[in-house]
Amino acid sequence: MAENHLADPQPSVASLVGGILADGQKLVRQEVALARREIAETADKAKTGVALLSSALAVCTVGGVLIGFMLVKLLHQFLLPSHEWACFGIVGVVIALVGGVLVYCGRKKMREVNLSLPQTAETLRDDAQAVGAAVSEGRSAVGILLKR
């Protein structure tokens, strides 16, 4: 009796499900690793930026105080010799206006900060599409995902 041997037998449902689960686990591990790397890179950049800005703020504060006193003395000597309090008031108002403009600009920039993980989100969408295509074709998605 002749037996029919197929060179490429169809995989069983159990092996397909096992392959899908293995692909899913591998995919989740890869995405978690990518998210961790992105967060670490962002945190390092933020840490360096905060340190530099803190140092700059300290130096500029000292310089600003000294310039403020200089401007008060100039106003007192040349414009309002008998009203030193008015000189302090004028310089204080000007500095407060400049500070207000800086606060406004800083808040505007802070609203532009994106705290999401764009690269992780993009690869998750791509991976989901690849796994969906592989499942609909009845094959394992390991080869597709490992190419990334």
What's the average pLDDT block by block, 10 residues per block, for the chain (148 residues)?
Answer: 57 82 86 88 86 92 94 94 93 94 91 75 79 70 55
Tokens representing 131? 């796994």
The pLDDT of residue 139 is 64
The pLDDT of residue 146 is 54
Q: Report how far residue 67's alpha carbon sits from residue 58's, in angstroms, rounded to the nearest whole number.
A: 14
**pTM to 2 decimals?**
0.48
CB 148 within 8 A of CB 123: yes
The pLDDT of residue 1 is 46
Tokens representing 75? 């106003």
The pLDDT of residue 73 is 95
Q: How far is CA 138 from CA 26, 104, 123, 126, 141, in A?
A: 18, 57, 22, 18, 9
The pLDDT of residue 3 is 53
CB 20 within 8 A of CB 135: yes
The pLDDT of residue 141 is 55
Q: Is 32 helix (H, G, I), strand (E, B) or coil?
A: helix
Overall size of the chain counted in residues: 148
Q: Is 81 helix (H, G, I), strand (E, B) or coil?
A: coil
Strands (E), 6-112: none
Q: Report how far residue 59's alpha carbon sits from residue 67's, in angstroms, rounded to the nearest whole number.
A: 12
Residue carrying the six token digits 């670490």: 40
